[in-house]
Amino acid sequence: MTEKKQIQMLIDAFDRFGFYLDDKLNRDIEENRKGAFALFFTDENGQPLSDVKVSVKQISHEFKFGCNLFYLDEFPDEERRNAYREKFKNLFNYAVIPLYWDTLEPEEGKPRFSEDSSYIHRRPPVDTAVKFCEENGMRMKGHCLIYNSFQPDWIGEDSREIKIKIDRRLKAISERYPTVFHDVDVINEMFRIYKNCYQGFGCRNLQLTDEPDHEKWAFDLCKKYFPHSALYWNEGMFETFGETQYSGFRSYYYMALKENLVKGAPIEGIGMQFHANGDKEKLFSQIHHVCHPLRLLDVFERYGDFRLPISVSEISIPSFGHDPEDEYLQAELTKRLFKLWFGRKYVDSIVWWNLADNTAFGAENLYHSGLIRNDCSEKPVYRVLDSLINKEWRTNLDAVANGTFYFTGFYGDYEIEAIHGGKTVRKTVRLCHDNTGYDNRRRDFRAKNIIL
C-alpha cells in the first residue's frame, strides 16, 4: 500500500468538516454572490405586457476571476501564444498587469509602455497587456506601484531623491493610463521589512520602508495619481493565514491595517496571497494550517471588520509535475478552496498567479502550479475552474413573463431576449450589487425596464 499523498491529506482534513461546510458554503454563495432581480416589460406607452417569452443569459461576472498576464505573447511559437490568449480569456475577466519598476523603466526616463518596447522575460509592454484586456472586456490591476523589491539600479541612495523619482514614476504611469486600472497594489509584502533588510535579503532593496510613516506616505501619493483606482495593500500567505502570524485582531497584518486606517491612509482593499507551494513530501506539515477550512473562515470573518474588498490575490497550488493523480488532487483541493473563497462576503476577487506551468518566477517553477501545462494543454484544475466559473456560477433562464419577471441570479451582465406579438428585442443589462435590490418607494425590487 502506497503512502497517502500530501495533497490528499489536505483534502481529507478539509472534508472532515463536510457535514458543516457543504451546506454553509452553498448558502454563503447564494447570499453573497447572487441577487434578486426584476425585469419589467412594457409597450412604448409604458403599459405592462403579458405572455412575453423571456430568455436570460449571463454573459459576464461582477465578481473578479483573475490571473497575472505576465506571460502574454511570451511563448516562442505562435500556436502556444494563441492558446495562452484563448485559455486566459475563457476563464478570466480580470488581469494583473506588471508594473515592477526595474523592468518597466530599466533606463531612467524611458518606461517600457509601447508595444514595440524591448523584450524582457515575463514583463510584456504595458500597452500590449492593456490592449488585450480592453479587447476582451477585462478589468485590470496594476502590480505593484511602491514595492520594496525590484528597484532599478539607477535610483541612488538618497531617500529624498528616491521619493522624487517615485513621484515621477507614478505621474508617468497615471498620465499614460489615467483610468485603466480598476485596482492597484500600492505596497506588497511589507512584513519584516525593517532596519536595513534591503541590503541583504534578496531583492528587497527600498530603503524608504524604514520610515515609520512609509505606508501612509505611499497610499497618499498613489491616491493623488490614481483617484479612480481602488488602492490595495497586498500581503503574503503565511503573514495573512499562517499559524504563527494569524491571531485574530492581534495579528500583525490586522493591526498594521488598523493603525494606518486610523492615520487616514486611503487603504481601499486588502490583498491576501495564497502561494501554497512546498516540499512534495512534507507539504501537509508545511501548509495544512493555511488550508484548514475553519481557519480560513475565521480569517475572512476577522478581516471583514474593515468592510473593505478582499482579494485572494496570488494563488499557487502545486501539482509537482504531470503525474495524473497529482494533477487530479491539485484540481480537487482547488475546487474546495474556490468554493470557500467565492462565498466570503467581502472577497471580491480570486486571482490565480501563473496560468501555465514553467512560467513562474525562479524556483516557483518546481511546483507546477499552473492551470495548464507548458504546451498549453488543459490540466484537470483548469477544467474544474471552467466548470465553476462558466457553468455552475452562471445564470441562464427561459420563462414566460406577465408584466414583471422576477428571478435570482449571479451578479453580472446579462443578455435579455424578449419576444411578444412577433416582435423580438435584445438588450444587455447590468445586474450588480450596486444597482439592484430593494426599491423602498415602489415597495418592490428595482426593475430594469425593457420596451417592446
> Are residues 130 and 35 located together in one domain of the fold?
no
pLDDT at position 198 is: 53
Does residue 116 register a pLDDT over 80? yes
Q: Which amino acid is at 356?
A: A
Cell of 394: 452562471
Same structural domain, 223 and 319: yes
Question: What domain range includes position 121?
Answer: 63-392
Q: For residue 87, tell me if it sits in a domain.
A: yes
Give the span between the Cα atoms of 250 and 258, in whole angstroms: 11
Residue 109: is its pLDDT beyond 60? yes
- The answer to whether residues 321 and 437 belong to one domain is no
Q: For residue 33, give the CATH number of its domain.
A: 2.60.40.10
pLDDT at 63 over 80: yes
Strand order in the sheet with 404-410: 404-410, 34-42, 447-451
How confident is the model over 55-67, as a mean pLDDT? 98
The whole-number pLDDT of residue 4 equals 87
State the Rg of the chain over Cα.
Answer: 23
Task: Compute the distance between CA of residue 280 and CA of residue 367 in angstroms, rounded to an integer.
Answer: 8
Angle at 99 (CA atoms; ends 365, 137), nearest 5 degrees: 90
Q: Which of 357, 372, 392 is the last residue of a domain?
A: 392
Distance CA 306, CA 252 (A): 15
Is the pLDDT at 192 greater than 90? The verdict is no
Task: Indicate whether 4 belongs to any domain.
Answer: no
Could you report the per-residue pLDDT of 81-105, keeping only the tens digit for each? 999 999 999 999 999 999 999 999 9
The distance from CA 290 to its chain's CA centroid, rounded to whole angstroms, is 18
Domain presence at residue 196: yes
Residue, of 141 and 2, whose pLDDT is higher = 141
User: What pLDDT sits at residue 1?
Assistant: 30
Question: Are residues 252 and 197 part of one domain?
Answer: yes
356 in a structural domain: yes
CA quadruple 20, 388, 74, 329: dihedral positive or negative? positive
CA-closest candidate to residue 102, choices 220, 204, 217? 204
Q: Is residue 1 part of a domain?
A: no
Report if residue 2 sits inside a domain: no
* Mean pLDDT score of the chain: 95
Domain count, the chain: 2
- Do 287 and 310 reside in the same domain of the chain? yes
313 shares a domain with 228 = yes
- The answer for residues whose C-beta is within 8 angstroms of residue 365's C-beta and 6 or more apart is 357, 358, 359
pLDDT of 14-28, one tens digit each?
999 999 999 999 999
Q: Are residues 116 and 48 in the same domain?
A: no
Bridge partners of residue 62, in order along the sequence: none
Q: What is the CATH number of the domain that holds 336?
A: 3.20.20.80
**Whether residue 369 sits in one domain with residue 330:** yes
* Alpha-carbon gap, residue 209 to 407, rounded angstroms: 51
pLDDT value of residue 191: 80
207-211-215 Cα angle (round to 5): 100
Instruction: Please report the pLDDT score of residue 196 as a whole number.
Output: 53
Closest CA to 72 of 52, 58, 92, 54: 92
* 153-178: pLDDT as tens digits: 999 989 999 999 999 999 999 999 99
For residue 200, pLDDT over 60 is answered with no
Residues 317 and 404 grouped into a single domain: no
Q: Which residue has the cell 499557487?
A: 316
Which residue reads 499552473 in cell numbers? 370
pLDDT at 201 over 60: no
Contact call for residues 354 and 369 (beta carbons, < 8 A)? yes
Q: Which of 426, 452, 443 is nearest to 42 (CA)?
A: 452
Does the bond joining 432 to the residue before it have cis omega, within 30 degrees of 0? no
* Residue range 328-340, pLDDT digits in tens: 999 999 999 999 9
φ/ψ (deg, to 5) at 298: -65, -40
- State the pTM of this model: 0.96
Dist. CA 278–CA 169, nearest whole Å: 36
Instruction: Provide, rounded to the nearest whole percent, the portion of the chain with pLDDT above 90.
Output: 93
In-domain check, residue 141: yes
pLDDT the model gives residue 442: 86
- Asked whether the predicted pLDDT for residue 305 surpasses 90, the reply is yes
420 CB-near residues (< 8 Å, 6+ apart): 41, 49, 51, 52, 53, 452
Q: Which of 341, 360, 392 is the last residue before a domain boundary?
A: 392
Specify the amino acid at residue 199: Q
Does the residue 5 lie in any domain?
no
Residue with cell 458543516: 20
288 and 436 co-located in one domain: no
Q: Tell me the percentage of the chain whose pLDDT exceeds 70.
A: 97
Q: Which helix (H) or strand (E) holds 53?
A: strand 52-61
* DSSP assignments along 361-388, one per residue: SGGGGGG---SB-TT-PBPHHHHHHHHI
In whole angstroms, what separates CA 186 from the centre of its chain? Answer: 15
Q: Residues 71-83: pLDDT tens digits?
A: 999 999 999 999 9
Q: Are residues 342 and 216 in the same domain?
A: yes
286's grid cell: 508545511
How large is the average pLDDT for residues 317-326?
Answer: 96
Do 198 and 234 sit in the same domain of this protein?
Answer: yes
What is the total residue count of the chain? Answer: 452
What is the DSSP secondary-structure string of 63-74?
A: SEEEEE-TTTT-
Q: Contact 375/20 with Cβ under 8 angstroms?
A: no
